[in-house]
Amino acid sequence: MSSRVTQILLGLSLLLNAFVLVGFVFSSWIEPPHSPFAAGRPPAPPPGPRLGNPLEALSHDLRLDDAQKKAVQPVVDEYANGRRDRWRDIGKIREEMAAELQKPNFDWAKIDALIDQITALRVDQQKQNLRAVEQMANKLPADKRAELHKILGERYGGQAWRPGNAPPGGPRPPRPPQ
């Protein structure tokens, strides 16, 4: 009798292990990314350190030492608070926009006004970003300030994509003659 129970338990254990293995294979290799099973999972974070805002990214890229980080931290914190508030305002306007877009007939006057509000907040965000970068630069030594301006030139001016430098994703094909 006990050998029969042992055989049944071993069979059930084998069946359970097979289901777990099949589930693993399905979720790892077969499940398409747009599957409803994947919808509940958040996307994987990008590799490397997670940086909350552009000033934190600049601080990281400049490889500031502890004293320099401490000097710019009040600017980073103040900027982060303002940025968070502005994005919260944009989120509220986007909710209003979603409500307008769900109506059977669009109220273009209201939609245009909401788009203008979002645009104004984004423009203000860009201006605040550069003002905060300027405040940060004023707290850095000359060598780090020069490096900061080089990084800004590459990011805002597109110098990283000029001839001789490949853009992300590889080199671009040559332009046809005109």
* Residues 60, 100 within the same domain: yes
Domain count, the chain: 2
Task: Verify that 72 and 114 share a domain, yes or no.
Answer: yes
CATH code of the domain containing 59: 1.20.120.1490
Whether this model's pTM surpasses 0.75: no
Q: Give the per-residue pLDDT at 113.
A: 92
**Do 19 and 64 sit in the same domain of this protein?**
no
Task: Answer yes or no: do 96 and 155 share one domain.
Answer: yes
| Any domain includes 44 | no
My answer on whether 151 and 93 are in the same domain is yes
Q: Under a CB-based contact definition with an 8 Å cutoff, are residues 111 and 97 in contact?
A: yes
Q: Are 171 and 118 in contact (CB under 8 A)?
A: no
Helix (H, G, I), strand (E, B) or coil at 32: coil
- On whether residue 146 sits in a domain, the answer given is yes
Close Cβ partners of 22 (under 8 Å, ≥ 6 residues apart): none
* Residue 48 lies inside a defined structural domain of this protein: no
- Kindly state whether residues 84 and 29 are assigned to the same domain: no
**Whether residues 83 and 16 fall in one domain:** no
> Rounded mean pLDDT of the chain?
80
Do residue 65 and residue 110 come from a single domain?
yes
Question: Residues 133-141: contacts with CB within 8 Å, 24+ apart?
Answer: 133/54, 133/55, 133/58, 135/75, 136/55, 136/58, 136/59, 136/72, 136/75, 136/76, 139/68, 139/71, 139/72, 139/75, 140/62, 140/64, 140/68, 140/71, 140/72, 141/68
Residue 88 belongs to domain spanning? 54-159
Residue 177, helix vs strand vs coil: coil
> Could you report the per-residue pLDDT of 1-23, keeping only the tens digit for each?
688 888 898 888 888 888 888 88
Query: Residue 120 pLDDT more than 90?
Result: yes
Residue 151 has pLDDT above 80, yes or no: yes
Which of 58-62, 111-115, 123-127, 157-161 bottoms out in mean pLDDT, i.e. has the lowest?
A: 157-161
